[in-house]
């Protein structure tokens, strides 16, 4: 009698993550990541038992809804591997990547990215660890260059034209400054008036706007966080010439009216 060898099918969970900043970058969309992972799973003979997405979630922390779901699946047993397009999809911090890998190994599961350079040998782990540290260094250098560039623009009296403008404003055509949005700025003024002049609690402001059916910036309901940000953000604060001239270059200060009042992009953002 002949017996055929029976092999258990390897089961995989696909994980895709994109941060807010990466959403517009080519090659980082959730759909593109999952498409690449599905193709790899087919080629390697994995049975995909789950696809998990983390949208607008930073890789600087392990506190993510999607990643929590992945960890629960792995802890339940039966998962052979968790796949991601790049190693930094799991975590940007090498130490967090190591912790995840060890956690998954306790349940017989591997952590694998399509851009892994090593293998499961000690040498392979060392190679990937070194590359993770180099990637961390490059991210830090890029962040510092970006910060310096944004600070330089701010001192020149310009607004860094990346992302979306603060609520109540639109970008100018050159995206280096703000102009007031006549539709949304009255809502900002109402929030400031209710808190500053009428003494309405922050939660009460959010509740009043929701009761009045005022559209919230994100299309959902007004909340205390947004109201608090409006109150604290320097972009809505009127500054005197003396206050502003201490923040900008002498050339910009010389072009201002000493009797005027000016808004300023919040320097803590850069």
Residue 123 near residue 116 (C-beta atoms within 8 A): no
Q: Which of 4, 19, 240, 255 is flagged as catalytic?
A: 19
Residues 53-83: b if buried by 16+ CB within 10 A, e if exposed: bbeebebeebebebbebbbebbeeeebbbbb
Long-range contacts of 211-218 (CB under 8 A, 24+ apart): 214/187, 217/167, 217/184
- The CA angle 150-154-157, to the nearest 5 degrees, is 145
* Residue 33 main-chain phi, psi, to 5 deg: -60, -50
At 181, is the secondary structure helix, strand, or coil?
coil
At 129, is the secondary structure helix, strand, or coil?
helix
Question: Across-strand partners of 55?
Answer: 18
As a whole number of angstroms, the distance between CA 100 and CA 111 comes to 8
Mark whether 19 is an active-site residue: yes
Question: Across-strand partners of 180?
Answer: 169
At 188, is the secondary structure helix, strand, or coil?
helix
Residue 100 near residue 132 (C-beta atoms within 8 A): no
Taken as a whole, the chain contains a residue count of 270
Contacts of residue 54, defined as CB under 8 A and 6 or more positions apart, other chains included, come to 15, 16, 17, 18, 64, 65, 66, 67
Catalytic residues: 19
């Amino acid at each position: 009698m002949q017996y055929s060898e029976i092999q258990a099918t390897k089961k995989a969970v696909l994980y895709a993550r994109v941060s807010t900043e990466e959403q517009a970058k080519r090659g980082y969309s959730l759909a593109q990541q999952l498409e690449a992972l599905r193709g790899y799973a087919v080629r390697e003979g994995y049975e995909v038992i789950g696809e998990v997405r983390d949208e607008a979630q930073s890789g600087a922390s392990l506190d993510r809804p999607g990643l929590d779901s992945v960890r629960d699946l792995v802890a339940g047993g039966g998962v052979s591997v968790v796949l991601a397009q790049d190693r930094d999809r799991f975590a940007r911090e090498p130490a967090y990547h190591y912790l995840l890998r060890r956690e998954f190994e306790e349940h017989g599961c591997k952590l694998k990215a399509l851009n892994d350079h090593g293998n499961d040998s000690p040498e392979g782990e060392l190679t990937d660890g070194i590359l993770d540290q180099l990637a961390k260094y490059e991210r830090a250098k890029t962040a510092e260059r970006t910060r310096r560039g944004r600070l330089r623009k701010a001192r020149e009296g310009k607004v860094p034209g990346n992302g979306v403008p603060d609520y109540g404003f639109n970008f100018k055509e050159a995206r280096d400054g703000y102009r007031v949005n006549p539709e949304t700025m009255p809502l900002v003024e109402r929030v400031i008036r209710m808190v500053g002049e009428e003494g309405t609690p922050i939660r009460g402001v959010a509740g009043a706007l929701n009761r009045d059916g005022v559209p919230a910036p994100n299309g959902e309901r007004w909340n205390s966080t947004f109201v608090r940000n409006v109150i604290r953000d320097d972009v809505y604060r009127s500054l005197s010439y003396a206050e502003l001239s201490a923040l900008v270059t002498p050339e910009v200060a010389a072009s201002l009216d000493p009797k005027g009042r000016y808004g300023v992009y919040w320097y803590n953002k850069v």
